[in-house]
Structure 1
Amino acid sequence: MKKQQQEIKLEIQIDDETANGRYINMAVVNHNDSEFVLDCIYVQPQVPKAKVQSRLITSPRNAKRLLLALQNNIHTYEQQFGVIDLRESTESFNGVGKPVH
Structure 2
Amino acid sequence: MEEKKQNPQQLNIELSEEVAQGVYSNLAVITHSSSEFVVDFVRIMPGIPKANVKSRVILTPEHAKRLMAALQDNIKKFEQMHGTIKINPGFDPMKPPMNFGGPTAQA
TM range (shorter): 0.7 to 0.9
Q: Which has the higher helix share?
A: 1
TM-score, L = length of structure 1: 0.81
The aligned residue for residue 78 of structure 2 is 77
Count how many residue pairs are aligned between Structure 1 and Structure 2. Answer: 91
Which of 68, 93, 98 pairs up with 2:97?
93
Q: CA deviation at 1:49?
A: 0.6
The aligned residue for residue 29 of structure 1 is 30
Range with greater deviation from structure 2 (9-18 or 48-57): 9-18
CA distance in 1, matches of 2:38, 2:90: 22
Q: CA deviation at 1:10?
A: 1.2
Deviations 1:31-56 (A, max 9, x none): 01000000000011111110101000
Displaced runs of 4 or more, over 6 A: none
CA distance in 2, matches of 1:94, 1:70: 24
Change in CA separation of 1:88 and 1:51 when aligned onto 2, cut-off 3 Å:
farther
Tell me the percent identity: 41
Q: CA deviation at 1:14?
A: 1.2
Q: CA deviation at 1:67?
A: 0.1
C-alpha contact (below 8 Å) 2:27/2:97 kept by paired residues: no
User: Could you list the runs of 5+ residues in structure 1 that have no partner in the other structure?
Assistant: 1-5, 97-101
C-alpha contact (below 8 Å) 1:46/1:94 kept by paired residues: no
C-alpha contact (below 8 Å) 1:46/1:95 kept by paired residues: no
C-alpha contact (below 8 Å) 1:47/1:95 kept by paired residues: no
Q: CA deviation at 1:95?
A: 5.0
TM-score, L = length of structure 2: 0.77
The aligned residue for residue 45 of structure 1 is 46
Q: Superposition RMSD on alpha carbons, in Å?
A: 2.1
The aligned residue for residue 17 of structure 2 is 16
User: For residue 12 of structure 1, what is the amino acid of its counterpart?
Assistant: I
